[in-house]
Structure 1
Amino acid sequence: MNDYVLLTDSSADLTDELVQTLGIEVLPLSFHIQNKTYWNWPDNREMDPGDFYRMLREGEMATTSAVNVADYTEKMTPYLQAGKDVLVMAFSSGLSATCHSARIAAQELMEQFPERKVYVVDTLCASLGQGLLVWYAARLKNEGKSIEEVRDWTEENKLRLCHWFTVDDLHFLKRGGRISPATAVLGTMLSIKPVMHVDDEGHLIKVGTARGRNASLKALVDHMEETAIDPAEQTVFISHGDCEADANKVAEDVKRRFGVKSVVINHVGPVIGAHSGPGTVALFFMGSRR
Structure 2
Amino acid sequence: MRDYVIMTDSCCDMTAALAEELELSVLPLSLHMGENVYRNWLDGREIGFQEFYAKIRSGQLATTSAVSVGEFTAEMRKILSAGKDILCINFSSALSATYQSASIAAQDLREEFPEAKILVVDSLCASLGQGLLVYLCAKERQKGRSLEEVHAFAEETKGKVCHWFTVDDLNHLKRGGRISAATALFGTMLSIKPVMHVDDGGHLVPVSKARGRKSSLLALVDRMAATAIDPANQTVFISHGDCEADARFVAEEITRRFGTKDIRINYVGPVIGNHSGPGTLALFFLGTQR
User: Between the two proteins, what is the percent identity of the paired residues?
Assistant: 62
Q: Per-residue displacement from partner, 1:100-137 (whole Å, max 9, x unpaired)?
A: 11111111111111100000010000000000000000
- Provide the rounded CA distance (Å) in 2 between the counterparts of 1:62 and 1:264: 28
Residue 115 of structure 2 aligns with an amino acid whose one-letter code is E
- Provide the rounded CA distance (Å) in 1 between the counterparts of 2:235 and 2:4: 25
Q: Is the 8 A contact 2:2 2:85 kept in 1?
A: no
Residue 277 of structure 1 aligns with an amino acid whose one-letter code is G
- SS of the residue 1:207 aligns to: strand
Which runs of structure 2 are paired with 1:169-184 in the superposition (5 Å)? 169-184=169-184
Note the C-alpha offset of 1:2: 5.1
Aligned to 2:288: 288
- Provide the rounded CA distance (Å) in 2 between the counterparts of 1:78 and 1:178: 38
Is 1:254 matched up with 2:254? Answer: yes
Note the C-alpha offset of 1:148: 0.4
- Provide the rounded CA distance (Å) in 2 between the counterparts of 1:72 and 1:51: 28
Aligned to 2:135: 135
Is 1:62 matched up with 2:97? Answer: no
Aligned to 1:190: 190
Residue 116 of structure 2 aligns with an amino acid whose one-letter code is R
In the TM superposition, structure 1's runs of 4+ consecutive aligned residues that sit over 6 Å from their partners are: none
Residue 19 of structure 1 aligns with an amino acid whose one-letter code is A
- Provide the rounded CA distance (Å) in 1 between the counterparts of 2:286 and 2:23: 22
Which runs of structure 2 are paired with 1:92-241 in the superposition (5 Å)? 92-241=92-241
Q: Per-residue displacement from partner, 1:219-263 (whole Å, max 9, x unpaired)?
A: 000000000000000110000000000000000010000110011
- SS of the residue 1:214 aligns to: helix
Greater shift in the superposed pair: 105-114 or 271-280: 105-114
- SS of the residue 1:255 aligns to: helix
- SS of the residue 1:135 aligns to: helix
Q: Number of residue pairs matched?
A: 290
- Provide the rounded CA distance (Å) in 1 between the counterparts of 2:91 and 2:2: 24
Note the C-alpha offset of 1:34: 2.9
Q: Is the 8 A contact 1:32 1:62 kept in 2?
A: yes
Residue 44 of structure 2 aligns with an amino acid whose one-letter code is N
Residue 216 of structure 1 aligns with an amino acid whose one-letter code is S
- Provide the rounded CA distance (Å) in 1 between the counterparts of 2:283 and 2:73: 33
Aligned to 1:269: 269
- SS of the residue 1:273 aligns to: helix
Note the C-alpha offset of 1:68: 1.1
Q: Is the 8 A contact 2:234 2:262 kept in 1?
A: yes
Note the C-alpha offset of 1:170: 0.4
The runs of 5 or more residues in structure 2 that have no matched partner are none
Aligned to 2:8: 8
Give me the TM-score of the superposition, normalised by structure 2. Answer: 0.99
Change (3 A) 1:52 1:2: same
Q: Is the 8 A contact 1:2 1:145 kept in 2?
A: no
- Provide the rounded CA distance (Å) in 2 between the counterparts of 1:10 and 1:186: 34
- SS of the residue 2:144 aligns to: coil
- SS of the residue 1:93 aligns to: coil
- SS of the residue 1:56 aligns to: helix
The runs of 5 or more residues in structure 1 that have no matched partner are none
- Provide the rounded CA distance (Å) in 2 between the counterparts of 1:56 and 1:218: 26
Aligned to 1:78: 78
Q: Is the 8 A contact 1:2 1:144 kept in 2?
A: no
Give me the TM-score of the superposition, normalised by structure 1. Answer: 0.99
Note the C-alpha offset of 1:35: 1.9
- Provide the rounded CA distance (Å) in 2 between the counterparts of 1:265 and 1:62: 25
- Provide the rounded CA distance (Å) in 1 between the counterparts of 2:182 and 2:79: 51
- Provide the rounded CA distance (Å) in 1 between the counterparts of 2:34 and 2:170: 22
